Chain A
Amino acid sequence: MRRRIRGASIPILFVALWEAGSRAGALPNDTFSRPLDIVVAGARAFTDGSILIATWQTIEAALAGFAFAASVGVLCGALLGLAPRLERIVGPTVDALRPIPAIALMPLALLMFGFGLTMEASVVAFACVWPVLLVTIAAVRGIEPRLLELARTLEMPFGSSLRKIILPAALARIVVGLRVSVGVSLVVAITVEIVINPRGLGYGMIIASQSLKPDLMYAQLLWLGFLGWGLNEALSRAARRWPGAQP
């Protein structure tokens, strides 16, 4: 209990000081809003639905990119993990492409797809594929060899053994990579929105900042922080319930 009080004390103190400072005029109004104003702005954004629409747009892009990257990453990772020779040939090319920052591809995606969902999702997908790919390769390599021999003895066709033996056996470790990937998807989506793409929460924040509505911007920022934290918590809880999926 003492830990909880102590933990909450700093943020509470911080907000109290902020409110007092704003009221006293010590903090300029155009950069620091009053905490109360932020709450009001936030409530308004919820009731008129704007923040919810923006949230959905961000989630949509992040999810689409993640789903694509996860499928490609798991499939290719399984193939490369099972065929070390193939992995040795393809590996260096993967290592060469991996250091390219996904956001460096934003202008390219813009050129190819124009503004909107596809562009954002494709940048997200590029960023998300690497953690999944690498983790899947490692996970498949670490599968109990007996199970692979069992699959051979049963003369299972590749698709069947992939579905029934390889992926379930590697799943616990793959899930860890997927968790990282989900986090990456949100970050990259927000980044794309802030810099280029006129949709989603990131764009909402930039607009609020530029139209000198700092209270709305802070409200959105807090909401985003809450989303990120909530997502992290949800993933941790889910991982704990799945046997063997601890990072």
Chain B
Amino acid sequence: MAVTKNGGAPGSGGKECFLSLRGVSLSFGLGDHRRPVLSEVSFDVAKGEFLCVVGPSGCGKTTLLRLIAGLLAPSAGEVVYQGRPVTGPSRDRAIVFQDYSKALLPWRTVKGNIALGLEACEVAKSQREARIGELLAKTGLQHAAHQHPNQLSGGMQQRVQIARSLAQEPRLLLMDEPFGALDAITRQTLQDEVVRLAAETHTTVVFITHDLEEAIYLGDRVIALADNPGHVAAMIEIGIPRPRSQLETREDPRFLAHRHRLFGLLQGHRQ
């Protein structure tokens, strides 16, 4: 399969895709209390793509991500990863959780947390130092290497989580509203960092957020998920070339057009 960089052509149904969701539905509860959370979600993700999924709170975005990760199984339909159906979690599909403080090991230092990813991948001890050093540099954590997560700010902790995920050398990076709990400035810094990291490591990214502008800014494509139950309302090609900039891209007419369209879509489906 040809390696496509960010901004490459999206997959189309029928061709063997990197990641493919086919008619995925999920309901929770039994009998009378059965509650549909996701309904007939289908889309493809091409290798190297940066896909954003946006939708209001409670529309099932996180559930969708956990399905792709393999932490949940769909009630109907299937998730196909590299041609094979997903039956469980895998190192190849790393997940960055929203509540970073709960996803890091509080008794290990930053280095130790990153090392966990390497230990799991059975990287030889001799090579670990070098890899950790690389990741620390990539995520700007060099000065915090020996600190514990509870000594770090939210943004730094999230960086640690990202570094640990990258230590797994995943082909697919799943991010669950990773910057939702951070302040605006940190959020913008990390947004650019994530785009850069994904490009450098040729990782495919599925990024969940409720922030329209973040989705448009980051993604090659944006999938709008409307709620009750969660279903695909639209798939939009962003078509703004990279590298993007926080200031200029957000004033780009294409950006604004997408914003209008998505806003209308998600508002409309609320009725």
Contact = CB atoms under 8 A, between A and B. Distances in A.
Interface of A: 144, 146-147, 149-150, 152-156, 160, 164-165, 168-169
Secondary structure of the B side of the interface? loop
B123 interface: no
B116 A153 contact: no
Contacts of A153: 69-71, 89-91, 93-95
A164 B108 CA distance: 10
Interface of A is mostly: helix
A169 B99 CA distance: 17
A150 B103 contact: yes
Interface in B88-114: 88-91, 93-95, 97, 99, 102-103, 105, 107
Given A153-B95, A164-B119, 10 more contacts: A147-B103, A149-B95, A152-B71, A152-B88, A153-B71, A153-B90, A154-B117, A155-B90, A160-B119, A164-B105
A204 B133 CA distance: 61
Contacts of A160: 119-120
B116 A154 contact: yes
A147 B105 contact: yes
Contacts of B94: 153
Contact of B103 (A146, A155, A168): A146
Contact of A154 (B88, B107, B168): B168
28 contacts: A144-B102, A146-B99, A146-B102, A146-B103, A147-B102, A147-B103, A147-B105, A149-B71, A149-B95, A149-B97, A150-B103, A152-B71, A152-B88, A153-B70, A153-B91, A153-B93, A153-B94, A153-B95, A154-B116, A154-B120, A155-B90, A155-B91, A156-B120, A164-B105, A164-B116, A164-B119, A165-B105, A169-B105
B160 to A, nearest CB: 13
A236 B117 CA distance: 36
Contacts of B91: 153-155
A149 B107 CA distance: 18
Residue in A154, A155, A160 with the greatest tally of chain B CB atoms within 10 Å: A154
A168 B104 CA distance: 12
A140 to B, nearest CB: 16
Contacts of B69: 153
Contacts of A147: 102-103, 105
A154 B115 CA distance: 12
Contacts of B97: 146, 149
Nearest to B94: A153
Counting chain B CB atoms within 10 Å of each CB, the highest count among A147, A150, A160, A165 belongs to: A150
Given A153-B94, A154-B120, A168 B107 contact: yes
A154 B93 CA distance: 9
A158 to B, nearest CB: 13
A25 to B, nearest CB: 64
Contacts of A149: 71, 89, 95, 97
Given A153-B71, A153-B93, A168 B105 contact: yes
Interface in B141-180: 168
Closest 4 CB pairs of A and B: A154-B120, A153-B89, A146-B102, A146-B103
Interface in B186-238: none
B154 to A, nearest CB: 15
